[in-house]
Structure 1
Amino acid sequence: MNLRLTPELTEMRETVLAFARRDLAPEQGGDAAGADRFRARWRLAGRQGLTGATVPAEYGGSGLDAESAAILMEALGEGCTDTGFAFSVAAHLFACLMPIVEFGTDDQKRRWLPGLCSGERIAAHGVTEPGAGSDSLNLSTRAERKDDHYVLDGSKCFTTNAPVADVFIVQAATRPAAGFFGLTSFIVDAATPGLRVGRPYEKTGLRGSPTADVYFENCIVPAESVLGAEGSGATVFTGSMKWERTCLFAIYLGAMRRVLNDTLAFAAEREQFGSPIGQFQAVSHRIVDMVLSLESARLLLLDAARRLAAGEDCDVPSALAKLAVSEAAVKLGLDAVQVRGSGGVLEGDVGALLRDALPARIFSGTNEIQKNNIARALGIGRRRPARR
């Protein structure tokens, strides 16, 4: 695999890196100030082309393929010390906009995508429920067809961007007993009567990403708001997860790179017993392990992105990439804390990486689910035909 970036990708990466460092500083102030600041930064990200990066140009995006998008997200993650904000941008793009690109009608694309690409609007994806996390086919949110509309009733939890969203991609059961073919996706305007967003969560990690529950009570959605076709919700969701498990996790590669570089500098400057601590084998070997974790995970992610861009089957590569990057981020965060000693548990980049990395092992399908999917694809446990 050729990892050399083209001059165009190199320029894009440097531009995004500089923009993120300059304009995407973590929000300050209370809840109200934070919401205003979040919107302001979102519009800046939109003008930079981040919020619509992989959307075709005819709908207001930049038309990047998955491989280029991974490089872009890696730069965003390195330059933006607020990983939560970067996560919100990626969730908006890959879990919401790409399903509209791949499954939406032309009318849906022209209605929603330009504003979502420009940064004027924000999208959220509602799938997880209190009783249906990993078991995503067993949703309790119902959508009943009545004449020319559907009536949605139920709730979603852990919905990224919900407190600031202008539009929701919602998964609901239209035929509860039909399994894979029982779910349907809907594009729902946040102003629709019967849709209510709960209070934002106070989270351990990804604190810069606003998250809340969403409630639907007799929420009337026009039939033309179905995304794809009735019964194709699981297919829509699966498609979005390929993008998310590949390109979104590139943000963590960038965050790890930033912390690794800071750790290298710290090991050269911090002295104990008359020598820089980087000269001690226990420290130097730990930092080498950090490099190994990052570079190994990066290879898997970029391979998955290349396969996705080429239209190849990338179910296993995407699952491997998600698994590798999330575990590497936690390990690298722990190692960075250990190198700094007590300073590593104070407020700052290192502690933030560790807090932000912990949810990565859970969202987009838990790491245990990824291992199940990989094992199933490899045929592990299947009875093989006996040899004659």
Structure 2
Amino acid sequence: MTEDLYQLTAPWADQLNAGLAELDAAGEFPHDKWKALRESGLFRTHFATEYGGAGHGLTATMRALEGLGYVSHDAGLSFSASTQIVSVGVPLQRFGSAELKARHLPRIMSGEAITAHAITESGGGSDAMNIATTARRDGDHYVVDGGKMFITNAPVADLFLLYVRTGKPGPFGLTTLLVEAGTPGLTVGPSMDKIGLRTSPVGTLAFDGLRVPVSQRVGREGTGFLVLDHVMKREVLFGFSLTLGEMTRRLESTIAFAKERQQFGRPIGDYQAVSHKIADMKIRVETARKWLTDTGAKVERNEDSALDLAATKTVVSEANLQTALDAVQIHGGRGVLTEYGIERDLRNSIAGTIYSGTSEIQRNRIATLLGL
């Protein structure tokens, strides 16, 4: 079954890769390609059959996303697709009320409702325990004030999961609230231009007296950090499974180019300067694969995986960046021309060392877990 999931999106490859250069240049979200992902059933993989999902576990879903990363050259679209699964659907399935699940999970799984989670603020990203956006109780509603920044899918989203402060700073002061686009008091900013993942829209949210019914709380009040921990484990594993697929495709295409491209009467792969770069690319890809596979299995077994997740995120994001840089170097002049798409891989890879906790933050976590 897992092998079948790797091929889940393969029949839609031509549609997913059509017109990518133009979409990337315009920074435009490809709604037609989103329809292809909806048709593929990708969004149903990780959700329970009682709500219309496919009922697959965490590692099986990782395999499906790895396949998408391999098939689709549109890393931005793939990133938005991973966010679709993990941002609202995953926490709603685990912590949401029966009414919220019945109302929203079918729309999320079909891809009809695009989703986003609002964690990051302008004053801090990784410092989630000191979120400044507040929600005060007013009868059977919360009143939310503040703002969020760098929110993936925000400009096109229909559903948002807000991480807000309902108590003192610390792990027990956060609460999560589900909000629909168009709710009075919620303002969604336009898509922000960025270096890579350009077809995945990123925007800002502003809350001014936003009233959210208590019935739309996901989990109990003050348990938002537990929700965040559950989500972030899967955000790392799902998002960087995409990356593994992308890295695998990049390695294969670079090997093929090194065998074909001739310089001084020989394929450039004959030269040690090139072959060693490719050997290092292979090592990085397989190291990333092992960390993802082992950590995914550990999380699925509900074992302590805090250090593993931090290491996995660091290893895979940095491997992606380095292999993209190596591919540009090996492709030479073609590597810097937009028509070949090699430079796009490099631009897409840069943000991976920043989102979901920077490499520096991950190393801090590892050091702390080692008792330093």
* TM-score of the aligned structures, taking structure 1 as reference length: 0.91
Does residue 14 in structure 1 map to residue 7 in structure 2? Answer: yes
CA displacement, residues 95-137 of structure 1 (integer Å, 9 cap, x when unaligned): 3211111111111111111001001110001010000212111
Partner Cα distance (2:315, 2:181) in 1: 35
Task: Give 1:24 shift.
Answer: 4.9
Q: Distance in 1 between matches of 2:273 and 2:103?
A: 57
Letter aligned with residue 250 of structure 1: S
Residue number in structure 2 paired with 1:114:
106
Whole-Å Cα distance in 2 between the matches of residues 274 and 29 of structure 1?
36
The answer to whether the 8 Å contact 1:198/1:214 transfers is: yes
Q: 1:263 aligns with which of 254, 258, 272?
A: 254
- Counterpart of 1:318? 309
Matches within 5 A, 1:121-132: 121-132=113-124
For residue 358 of structure 1, what is the aligned residue in structure 2?
A: 350
1:170 paired to 2:201: no
Please state if 1:370 is matched with 2:366. Answer: no
Matching residue within 232, 235, 238 for 1:247: 238
1:199 to 1:41, Cα distance in 2 relative to 1, 3 A:
same
1:187 to 2:158 alignment? no
Q: 2:297 aligns with which of 290, 306, 309?
A: 306
Cα separation, partners in 2 of 1:167 and 1:293, compared to 1, 3 Å: same
Deviation at 1:39, TM superposition (A): 2.6
1:158 to 136, 150, 162: 150
| Contact 1:257–1:294 (CA under 8 A) maintained in structure 2 | yes
Contact 2:9/2:37 (<8 A) preserved: no
Contact 1:184 1:229 in 2 (8 A): yes
Unpaired segments ≥5 residues, structure 2: none
Identity %: 41
What secondary structure does 1:179 align onto? coil
Supply the AA of the counterpart residue of 1:19: W
Q: Measure the CA separation in 1 of the matches of 2:42 and 2:62.
A: 12
The answer for the alignment partner of 1:101 in structure 2 is: 93
Q: What SS does the aligned partner of 2:127 have?
A: coil
* Letter of the 1:291 counterpart: K
Do the aligned residues in 2 keep the contact of 1:172 with 1:183 (CA within 8 Å)? Answer: yes
User: Separation in 2 of the partners of 1:361 and 1:172?
Assistant: 25
- Residues in 1 aligned to 2:10 and 2:113: alpha-carbon distance in whole angstroms: 23
Change (3 A) 1:34 1:364: closer
Post-superposition CA distance 1:293-327 (Å, at most 9, x none): 10011100011111122222222222211111100
Q: Is residue 114 of structure 2 the alignment partner of residue 147 of structure 1?
A: no
1:65-76 alignment, distance < 5 Å: 65-76=57-68
Q: Residues of 1 paired with 2:18 and 2:152: CA distance? A: 20
Matched to 2:273, the amino acid is: A
Query: Could you tell me whether the CA contact under 8 Å between 1:270 and 1:277 is conserved in 2?
Result: yes
CA distance in 1: counterparts of 2:23 and 2:92, whole angstroms = 34
TM-score (norm 2): 0.95
What residue is the counterpart of 1:81 in the other structure? 73
Deviations 1:137-183 (A, max 9, x none): 111211111001011111100000001100000001111x2411111
Provide the secondary structure at the position in 2 that maps to 1:193: coil
Change (3 A) 1:343 1:34: closer
Q: Name the amino acid aligned to 1:120.
A: E
Q: Tell me, yes or no, if structure 1 residue 52 matches structure 2 residue 32.
A: no
Per-residue deviation, 1:52: 2.9
Alignment of 1:212 with 2:203, yes or no, is yes
- Is 1:290 matched with 2:255? no
Whether the 8 Å CA contact 1:21–1:79 is kept in 2: the answer is no
- Once residues 117 and 282 of structure 2 are traced to their aligned partners in structure 1, the CA distance between those partners, rounded to angstroms, is 34
Distance 1:27 1:57, change over 3 A: farther
- The aligned amino acid for 1:18 is P
Question: CA separation of 1:335/1:23 partners in 2, compared to 1, >3 Å: closer, same or farther?
Answer: closer
Distance in 2 separating the partners of 1:52 and 1:130: 33
Three-state SS of the structure 1 residue aligned to 2:56 is: coil
Deviates more, 1:186-195 or 1:344-353: 344-353
C-alpha distance in structure 1 between counterparts of 2:173 and 2:19, whole Å = 41
Name 1:4's counterpart in structure 2: none
Equivalent in the alignment of 1:339: 330
Cα distance in structure 2, aligned partners of 1:311 and 1:26: 42
Letter in 1 for 2:91: P
Match of 1:25 in 2: 18
Which digits, 9 at most, give the CA deviation of each residue in 1:209-258, with x for residues without a partner?
01101111111100111110111111111110000111211111111111
Distance 1:142 1:11 in 2: 45
CA distance in 2, matches of 1:47, 1:295: 31
> Equivalent residue for 1:5?
none
1:330 to 294, 306, 321: 321
Whole-angstrom distance in 2 between the partners of 1:16 and 1:23: 9
Q: Which amino acid aligns with 1:179?
A: G
* Matches of 1:72 and 1:297, distance apart in 2: 16
